[in-house]
């Protein structure tokens, strides 16, 4: 009779699995709570102590750490010396191991004290899994409840699992134990204040057709599938698969969206920079303003909002203001939800990707950027200064409407590639200057763009970093800017303050830089 050792934390389907093994001629050996569940389910399980001749001790900390367990798992059955030792010590082979581990991750995620976390570090489980996986030539090791039916079917058909299956199951085990040890190591290192090592583990979300260019292979992995405003756990409602560049753009859009909470907001985005953004009384109002701010650049871009899209909004987004015969060409639309009517309207354009993302409080997780041979790791730029009139460094203080535009402008400019300048008016972007080698160059792009849309005065300018000289401000004031918000911190700040005072316009220093390289 073949022997299976079964000891699981997640007991889903384990009774049915063990009944199937019994029908196929396996004797079931089990431990503690698993054995109790199996007996209640009608499985004739025998206790692990009947095999080891030694009781469970230390509140269950030691129960399977025994030569009669690991000898039965690790013996190389076609090696004469191993066979002789097994017979000498009255060890019986264990042909199948079914183990899943203490729920360490769930324990620490729900919130627990250090002592509880320590007690949820599994010792015997990983040891059995690793022993069985090492000897996969002879032993079947099952660590995933989703593999129960496949294992039973193979044993029923072939009398045993195939070698190819045992190899795959062993690989899954070492993946599981590596992830498990990584979680524990990360937790313990955090408690100990150690930082000289970095552990990253991710689950594949999808293989991509290619990366930034067709000759580059690419995959998308999730590092934290609980994260809000994330594509890692978003639902694709319709459309083609997301590309590498779609994912980059969509992630940038979600970073902007989360700045605005539940205030109706819409943004159009191209090449990871916003090309039109607005707050409004409702989604249609916000979208209309965002689209009008740059109807050219949005072509082939993506749109993101923090509002559920209904049929009326869907029709507005499809056809700009609803009065055009030709739809606006978009690659991706992101929203926290779509009504069934909206889905039906968008279904007429089956290639358009609709992405439903999860909203809520977001974790302060790290940001990773690859460089040749390494990684840069930093906190995400989640902080924002609360802009008030008292922060003005000029004689003239900003009005309430100007303060609103300053806040809006800074929330947008922090997501524009540096050097970054944004000009806004009435909660809408008028022009975006991104990625120039000098700040006055970015200001010229933003302001010229605003002028091309017919906005020539009453604008508020937001800058991601200080003005190194007064030239940026001089150009802005000569071209319709009437209020400025910037971090401050230049050696020549006073020059800019003097220019603003001479023009009798308000300028606020936030004291917080928002470079985005």
For the annotated catalytic residues, the residue numbers are: 134, 271
Separation CA 434–CA 462 (nearest Å) = 12
Sheet of strand 459-463, all strands in order from the earlier edge strand to the far edge: 235-238, 353-356, 330-335, 301-305, 265-270, 273-279, 428-433, 421-425, 459-463, 481-486, 507-509
Separation CA 331–CA 354 (nearest Å) = 9
Indicate the length of the chain as a whole number.
517
Phi, psi of 433 (to 5 degrees): -115, 115
Q: Which residues contact 373 (CB under 8 A, 6 or more apart)?
A: none
DSSP readout, 377-409?
EEE---------GGGB-SSSPPPHHHHHHHHHH
Scanning 145-230, the segments in alpha helix (DSSP H) are: 148-158, 163-192
Separation CA 337–CA 3 (nearest Å) = 51
Q: Which residues contact 7 (CB under 8 A, 6 or more apart)?
A: 30, 31, 32, 34, 48, 64, 98, 99, 124, 125, 128
- Distance (Å) of CA 29 to CA 5, 96, 98, 213: 5, 10, 10, 54
Separation CA 85–CA 89 (nearest Å) = 6
Question: Which region, left, alpha or beta, applies to residue 302 given φ > 0 means left and ψ of -120 to 50 means alpha?
Answer: beta
- Distance (Å) of CA 171 to CA 161, 165, 167, 238, 515: 15, 10, 6, 34, 43
**Residue at token pair 């007064």:** 470
Separation CA 167–CA 510 (nearest Å) = 59
Which tokens sit at 434? 């991104």
Other Cβ atoms closer than 10 A to 461: 33
Helix (H, G, I), strand (E, B) or coil at 269: strand
Question: Which region, left, alpha or beta, applies to residue 480 given φ > 0 means left and ψ of -120 to 50 means alpha?
Answer: left
What H or E segment, with its residue span, contains residue 64? none
414: nearest Cα among 442, 439, 384: 384
DSSP state of 57: B
């Amino acid at each position: 009779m073949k022997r299976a050792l079964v000891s699981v934390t997640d007991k889903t389907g384990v009774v049915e699995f063990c009944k199937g093994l019994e029908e196929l001629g396996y004797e079931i050996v089990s431990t503690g709570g698993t054995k109790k569940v199996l007996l209640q389910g009608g499985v004739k399980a025998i206790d692990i102590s009947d095999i080891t001749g030694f009781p469970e001790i230390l509140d269950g900390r030691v129960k399977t750490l025994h030569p009669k367990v690991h000898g039965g798992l690790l013996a190389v059955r076609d090696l004469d010396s191993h066979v002789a030792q097994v017979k000498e010590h009255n060890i019986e082979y264990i042909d199948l191991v079914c183990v899943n581990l203490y729920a360490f991750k769930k324990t620490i995620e729900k919130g627990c004290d250090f002592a509880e976390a320590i007690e949820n570090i599994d010792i015997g489980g990983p040891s059995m899994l690793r022993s069985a996986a090492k000897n996969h030539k002879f032993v079947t090791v099952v660590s995933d409840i989703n593999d129960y039916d496949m294992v039973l079917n193979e044993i029923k058909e072939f009398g045993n699992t195939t070698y190819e299956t045992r190899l795959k199951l062993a690989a899954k085990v070492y993946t599981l134990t590596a992830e498990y040890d990584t979680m524990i190591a990360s937790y313990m290192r955090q408690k100990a204040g150690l930082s000289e090592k970095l552990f990253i583990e991710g689950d594949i979300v999808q293989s991509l057709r290619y990366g930034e260019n067709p000759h580059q292979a690419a995959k998308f992995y999730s590092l934290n599938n609980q994260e809000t405003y994330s594509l890692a756990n978003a639902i694709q409602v319709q459309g083609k698969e997301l590309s590498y560049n779609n994912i980059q753009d969509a992630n940038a859009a979600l970073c902007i969206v989360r700045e605005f909470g539940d205030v109706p907001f819409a943004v159009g985005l191209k090449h990871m920079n916003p090309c039109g953004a607005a707050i409004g009384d409702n989604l249609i109002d916000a979208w209309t303003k965002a689209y009008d701010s740059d109807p050219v650049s949005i072509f082939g871009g993506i749109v993101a909002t923090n509002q559920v899209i209904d049929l009326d909004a869907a029709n507005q987004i499809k056809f700009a203001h609803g009065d055009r015969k030709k739809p606006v060409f978009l690659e991706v639309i992101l929203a926290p939800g779509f009504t069934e009517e909206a889905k039906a309207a968008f279904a007429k354009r089956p290639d358009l990707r609709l992405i439903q993302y999860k909203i809520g409080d977001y974790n302060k997780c790290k940001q990773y950027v690859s460089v040749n041979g390494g990684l840069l790791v930093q906190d995400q730029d989640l902080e924002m200064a609360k802009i008030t009139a008292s922060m003005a460094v000029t004689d003239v203080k900003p009005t309430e409407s100007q303060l609103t535009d300053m806040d809006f402008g800074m929330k947008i400019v922090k997501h524009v590639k540096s050097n970054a300048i944004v000009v806004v008016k009435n909660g809408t972007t008028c022009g975006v200057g991104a990625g120039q080698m000098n700040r006055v160059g970015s200001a010229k792009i933003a302001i010229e763009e605003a002028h091309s849309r017919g906005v020539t005065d009453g604008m508020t300018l937001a800058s991601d970093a200080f003005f190194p000289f007064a030239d940026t401000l001089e150009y802005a004031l000569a071209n319709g800017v009437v209020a400025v918000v910037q971090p401050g911190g230049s050696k020549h700040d006073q020059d800019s303050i003097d220019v603003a005072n001479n023009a009798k316009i308000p300028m606020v220093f936030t004291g917080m830089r928002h470079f985005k390289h």
